[in-house]
């Protein structure tokens, strides 16, 4: 039976439990985080082992945006944030080059999908969790720059995924830690937040469904991940998206507090998510898989939705393979990748206005901090 789960791994090497799970019940996708990345050789070995021991090699995914969401920061330093492109000259050219550099890197590590670009549209103040991760504050800029970044990825044989449908740029909070409310009318969403998804979605072939709530569009406390009105009616029927819908991490508190893992997996599936991500507790995944298998066998409605999701997920897998085949061989030497990254970073800095860094005293960190270990950096 096909599987629609995307899972996370606990560390830089596979545990015995993870090896058994991958061999016996291969998930659709494996999502890499900073906790999984040490050295160049270690990361290549980890991805290779995941694919070798799995009954069917999963699609390897990662959040590699640049800026504060930069899983490769200890291997390939200096990648800028999405917001920085509009702050200098040649923003579209630099965004495309950034996508190419990231695509080269992910291809080198045999990663098929970058869970990027962010196409949320920034409000007057950035939503918590989205700081400097957005390409602009108007639809036209986001379409131009995110589109350039996306095509840069594709040119190197790496697939993309737009996030976070239907837009959390005006959200009230960070969904990693609780509910975020986007209190705007449907007409405003159409005019603003939905534009990048409508214009770029079918080119990307993947959209990540966010956990925001939209009280002027659907039930006040219903996250988009559980909303057929947002994920089927609006995304599919009104915006014409025909690719795969990937849930945001179901272990974020915005949704994880709303039921058991089994219950929220089924709710997400029935609301229109095709691939469902649980990125932390792999030990729970066999139970979720068995539950979904049982529901598919006993309920015709669940079976129809499951079969539809499988068809879209497999089409996206084929899309990843097609992009890789069309791009040709990737870079074979890590030093060549570092050299290209350095060329990009040097040129990017030349396009930026000169200014002295200013760090307000209130923003200075107090006391020691181990890098890369906060929940926000791991989850976002």
- The hierarchical CATH code for the domain 5-348 is 3.20.20.300
* pLDDT value of position 33: 97
Supply the pLDDT for residue 356: 60
Identify the CA nearest to 210 among candidates 184, 264, 171, 243: 171
Spans of all domains in the chain: 5-348
Please provide the DSSP assignment of 183-220 as one string.
---HHHIIIIITHHHHHHHHHH-EEEE---B-TTTS-T
E strand intervals along the chain: 5-8, 29-32, 59-62, 64-66, 69-70, 113-114, 159-160, 162-165, 206-209, 244-247, 276-278
Q: Which residues are catalytic?
A: 176, 248
pLDDT at residue 1, as a whole number: 66
Say what the pLDDT of residue 367 is. 43
Q: CA dist 204 to 155, 159, 200, Å? A: 12, 7, 6
Task: Tell me the mean pLDDT per 10 residues along the chain, length 380.
Answer: 93 97 95 97 98 97 96 92 93 98 98 98 84 95 98 98 95 74 95 97 98 95 96 96 98 92 98 97 96 97 98 98 96 95 94 65 42 37
- Alpha helices per DSSP H over 25-138: 40-53, 91-108
**φ, ψ (nearest 5 deg) of residue 159:** -80, 165
Q: Say what the pLDDT of residue 360 is.
A: 47
**What's the confidence (pLDDT) of residue 254?**
87
3-class state of residue 30 by DSSP: strand
Q: Are 111 and 61 in contact (CB under 8 A)?
A: yes
SS3 call for 123: coil
Q: What is the 3-state secondary structure (H, E, C) of 244-266?
A: EEEECCCCCHHHHCCCCHHHHHH
Q: Tell me, what's the pLDDT at 77?
A: 81
What is the spatial distance between Cα 156 and Cα 340, in angstroms, rounded to a whole number? 13
| Phi, psi dihedral angles at 32 (to 5 degrees) | -90, 145
Spatial strand order of the sheet with 29-32 comes to: 159-160, 113-114, 59-62, 29-32, 5-8, 276-278
The pLDDT, as a whole number, for residue 355 is 63
User: How far is 277 from 265, CA to CA, in rounded Å?
Assistant: 9
DSSP class of residue 109?
T
- Measured from the Cβ of residue 322, the count of other Cβ atoms closer than 10 Å reads 14
Conformation bin of residue 78: beta by default, left when phi > 0, alpha when psi is -120 to 50? left
Q: How far apart, in Å, are the Cα atoms of 133 and each of 48, 100, 164, 343? A: 30, 18, 12, 23
């Amino acid at each position: 039976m096909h599987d629609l789960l995307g899972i996370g791994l606990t560390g830089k090497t596979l545990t015995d439990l993870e090896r058994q799970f991958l061999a016996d019940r291969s998930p659709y996708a494996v999502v890499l985080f900073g906790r999984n990345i040490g050295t160049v050789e270690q990361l290549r070995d980890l991805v290779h082992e995941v694919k070798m021991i799995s009954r069917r090699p999963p699609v390897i995914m990662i959040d590699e945006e640049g800026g504060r969401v930069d899983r490769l920061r200890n291997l390939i330093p200096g990648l800028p944030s999405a917001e920085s492109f509009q702050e200098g000259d040649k923003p579209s050219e630099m965004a495309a080059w950034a996508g190419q550099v990231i695509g080269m890197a992910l291809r080198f590590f045999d990663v098929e999908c970058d869970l990027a670009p962010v196409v949320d549209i920034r409000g007057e103040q950035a939503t918590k969790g989205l700081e400097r991760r957005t390409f602009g504050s108007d639809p036209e800029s986001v379409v131009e720059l995110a589109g350039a970044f996306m095509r840069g990825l594709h040119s190197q044989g790496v697939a993309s995924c737009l996030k976070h449908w239907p837009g959390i740029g005006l959200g009230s909070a960070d969904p990693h830690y609780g509910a975020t409310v986007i209190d705007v009318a449907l007409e405003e969403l159409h005019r603003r937040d939905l534009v990048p998804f409508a214009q770029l979605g079918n080119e990307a072939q993947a959209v990540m469904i966010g956990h925001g709530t939209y009280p002027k569009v659907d039930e006040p406390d219903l996250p988009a991940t559980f909303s057929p009105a947002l994920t089927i009616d609006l995304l599919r029927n009104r915006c014409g998206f025909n690719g795969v819908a990937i849930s945001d991490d179901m272990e974020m508190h915005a949704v994880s507090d709303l039921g058991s893992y089994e219950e929220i997996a089924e709710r997400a599936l029935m609301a229109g998510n095709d691939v469902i991500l649980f990125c932390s507790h792999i030990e729970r995944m066999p139970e979720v898989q068995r539950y979904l298998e049982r529901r598919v066998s006993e309920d015709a409605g669940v079976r129809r939705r499951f079969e539809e999701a499988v068809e879209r997920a497999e089409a996206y897998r084929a899309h990843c393979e097609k992009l890789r085949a069309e791009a040709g061989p990737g870079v074979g030497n890590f030093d060549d990748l570092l050299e290209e990254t350095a060329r990009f970073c040097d040129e990017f800095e030349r396009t930026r206005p000169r200014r002295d860094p200013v760090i307000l005293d209130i923003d200075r960190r107090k006391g020691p901090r181990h890098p890369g270990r906060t929940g926000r950096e791991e989850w976002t």
